[in-house]
Structure 1
Amino acid sequence: MVFGRKKSDNKDAKPTSTLADVIQWTDYSGKEKDVVWKHPSNQIRWGTALIVQQYEAAVFFRDGKIYDVFGPGRHALTTPNMPVLTKAFNTLYQQPLFHSTVYFVAIKEFDGLFGGRTQTRELFPLLANGQYWYKVSDSTLFVNEVVGGNLNISPEEISKFLKGFISENLMKELAAYSLETVFTEGLETISLKLRNAIYDKFKRFGLDLFDLRFNAIDTEDQYRELAVMTKQGVSASEVLRMFTMRESAKELGKSTGGAGMGGAFVIPPLIMDQNRQPQQSQQQIQKQDDEALKILRNRFANGEIDENEYLKKKQILEK
């Protein structure tokens, strides 16, 4: 949960008539998990005490704008202490009360979970999940960009937004990697690279993404053997070539009842020690490439794969 609980979800509701002698974060039911809490009263008497605890900031929000921000301590809400709001509304000091929404922002460390699915540069599927750690580094920017003037936004909506934001961006970054890179660099290296890749995007919302770790990056069962091959030094183009031929062999086997297909598309045992494999001549490799391209064209012509997948795999095979 990210956003503090509210007394009312009706943004058109009249301001509460109860005036607080002290304004502070008083709803502790979700304080360990909430990043923001909105004070229930937006009518404030001049001279009221504002108490901001350690690891908090109090943000005064009115008419879609932020005016004054207070750090930890006890503050008297007087015109000298609120210069921005007083200057913007120069008649406020003549009134016994003024209106402003007060957001308390927790600036301690929080954590969250992410997960999703994407595909590698060669269009092999990937499934990933992990954990991230963050904190609000700019409370003004966070309230402006994430909370804004939407007083009806719920805790679940903001929590869903943050989780969706990081998951979407991580999966997008992961899609730029090859199968070989994903399964040979290791989770720690991938985590550091992707954390750095999306760090500035978090900064846009006033958030500091100070750590991120992938717990697992995997692929679907039928592709797992290919991932093992990449760890043993088999190139992505070779893996794709073998996969294309094997999948096509299965389809051809079905169409012919399996007769005569036993050795037509034999996949070399690449999981064994590479030094024990017989060296292939350039002509043999070219022949395999031509055969794989032919099969790929047939699969595209038969509607088994779309144009985007066809062009990407064709480019890899032609390298």
Structure 2
Amino acid sequence: MPILDLIEFFDPSGEIIVVKQPQAGSGEFRLGSQLVVQESQLAVFYRDGKALDQFGAGRHTLTTLNLPLVGRLIGLPFGGQSPFRCYVYFLATKTFTNLGWGTTTPVLFRDAEFRMVALRAHGAYSIRITQPALFLQTIVGTKGIETTHALEQFFRTVIVSRLNEAIGKSLRSVLDLAAKYNEVGLEVRRTVRADFEQYGVELVDLLVEAISLPDDVQQMVNRATGVAVQDAEKYRAIAISDAVRDAAKNSGSGGGGSGLGDGLGLALGLGLGREMARAVGAPMASASAATSERISAGDLRTRLGELKALRDEGLISDADFEEQKRRWLGQL
């Protein structure tokens, strides 16, 4: 094997975190060989699985003075020219941004409202190697990871495991997700940062870009959060809106008040808990009864005012408004 008189690595892509030279096995070096380390790089000599001497950016002529650990390990004579076997790891010390992470399969979350919910999530993170020897020992030496892709896969597993813990700690239900999003992200960053430090890596930033729900759960959450589910008046608005819409659809079939009854069933079929049933039950019962009784002019004005408010908020259409007004006028 020829002696390596020049050792360097240039990464035109700017995406390689760590690379070994020579790529297979070890190489023969000698005192006087030139080592070229690029900006934002660090070179670490290795022998027998041990990290030895380190070199920062610049051109270095190898001597017993700048290879003290190698020299002691293999007994290099001062000024000697005998070749010695080692290999060199070039590590990028810059910050690597926009590394991706995500759940490859859904993770299960025990939800207080929906029982078990399968969640998916993804995001991005940025890292920087701060302790090269520790990184090489724990990641390269122990894990056998020598490529950026393999490193990204390894850290993805770490992040996803911490995401599960953060969601369980921060959320009672996915209904709270919008309000707790930042809290989930902060908890993931806190725990993942400590994990990465064990490998000589600094977590510069981590973003939880999205946490997605199954379609059926997402539809219920959208409906609930879109009308502020904590507000009982909004529950009432949902119920009345649904009842009016269903009544209009059934008005031509002789169904009488059955449309409003069906609307009540739809409102209570969202699976959002007994609280919603209590909130909408009373007003819907009175609304259903109203379809079969005579009403006074004063009651009509009150009801039309409430109906107009629903239309103004966009909860019912103009056609729904006109249809229900016509029905109430027929009950005078």
TM bin (shorter chain):
0.5 to 0.7
* Partner SS, residue 198 of structure 1: helix
How far apart are residue 207 of structure 1 and its match?
1.0
* Map of 1:119 onto structure 2: 108
Cα distance in 2 for partners of 1:194, 1:149 equals: 25
Q: Does 1:77 align with 2:62?
A: yes
Matches within 5 A, 1:9-20: 17-20=1-4
> Does structure 2 conserve the Cα–Cα contact (< 8 Å) formed by 1:180 and 1:230?
no
Aligned to 2:51: 66
How many Å separate the matches in 1 of 2:215 and 2:185?
A: 23
**Unmatched 5+ stretches in structure 1:** 1-16, 236-260, 281-319
Which is richer in helix? 2
Offset of residue 191 of structure 1: 2.0
Distance 1:129 1:152 in 2: 23
Residue equivalent to 2:234: none
- Tell me, yes or no, if the aligned pair for 1:35 and 1:106 is still in contact at 8 Å: yes
Alignment match, 1:173: 166
State TM-score, norm by structure 1. Answer: 0.62
SS at 2:170 equivalent: coil
Alignment of structure 1 residues 35-74 onto 2, 5 Å: 35-40=17-22, 42-74=27-59
Deviations 1:184-238 (A, max 9, x none): 3354443233111211101111111111112211210121244343683559xxx
8 Å CA contact retained: 1:62, 1:101:
yes
Aligned partners of 1:150, 1:270: CA distance in 2, in Å?
Answer: 47
Q: In the alignment, residue 123 of structure 2 is paired with which amino acid?
A: G
**In 2, Cα distance between the equivalents of 1:126 and 1:76?**
55
SS of residue in 2 equivalent to 1:200: helix
SS in 2 for 1:80: coil
- Which letter maps to 2:51? I
Q: 2:179 aligned with 1:185, yes or no?
A: yes
Partner of 1:197: 191
Deviations, residues 76-131 of structure 1 (Å, cap 9, x unaligned):
21111111222223256556111111000001121311111323342322211111
Task: Report the CA distance between 1:55 and its aligned residue.
Answer: 0.7
Larger Rg belongs to = 2
Q: How many equivalent pairs are there? A: 234
Alignment match, 1:211: 205
Q: Which residue of 2 aligns with 1:131?
A: 124
Look up the SS of the partner of 1:108 in the other structure: coil
The normalised TM-score by structure 2 is: 0.60
Residue 213 of structure 2 aligns to which amino acid in structure 1? T
Q: 1-side partners of 2:27 and 2:145: how far apart?
A: 15
Identity %: 27
Letter paired with 2:65? P
- The residue correspondences of 1:265-304 to structure 2 (distance < 5 A) are 266-267=268-269, 277=279
Q: Within 1, Cα distance between the matches of 2:71 and 2:176? A: 56
Contact 1:56–1:105 (CA under 8 A) maintained in structure 2: yes
Within the candidate set 90, 93, 106, 1:107 is matched to: 93
Unaligned runs of 5+ in 2: 232-261, 283-332
Following the alignment from structure 1 to structure 2, what is the Cα–Cα distance between the partners of residues 119 and 265?
28
Give yes or no for contact 1:126–1:217 (8 Å, CA) kept in 2. yes
Query: Which amino acid in the other structure matches residue 131 of structure 1?
Result: A
Preserved CA contact (<8 Å) 2:185 2:208: yes
2:216 paired residue number: 222
Partner Cα distance (1:163, 1:23) in 2: 33
AA at the equivalent of 2:18: V
Distance 2:209 2:143 in 1: 35
- Taking CA–CA contacts closer than 8 Å with sequence separation of 6 or more, which of the two structures ends up with the larger relative contact order? 1
Give how far 1:63 is off. 0.7
Q: Which residue of 2 aligns with 1:24?
A: 8
Answer yes or no: is the 8 Å Cα contact 1:147–1:153 preserved in 2: yes
Corresponding residue number in structure 2 for 1:6: none
Q: Answer yes or no: is the 8 Å Cα contact 2:91–2:132 preserved in 1.
A: yes
Cα distance, 1:140–1:152 mapped onto 2, change above 3 Å:
closer
The 5 A counterparts of 1:305-316 are: none
- Alpha-carbon shift at residue 174 of structure 1 (Å): 2.6
Q: Residues 74 and 91 from structure 1, CA distance in 2 versus in 1: closer, same or farther, beyond 3 angstroms?
A: closer
Indicate conservation of the 8 Å contact 2:3/2:83, yes or no: no
Q: Match for 1:37: what amino acid?
A: V
CA offsets per residue over residues 132-151 of structure 1, 9 Å max, x none? Answer: 11111111111111111777
Contact kept, 8 Å, 1:24 with 1:51, in 2: the verdict is yes
- Aligned equivalents of 1:149, 1:46: Cα separation in 2: 30
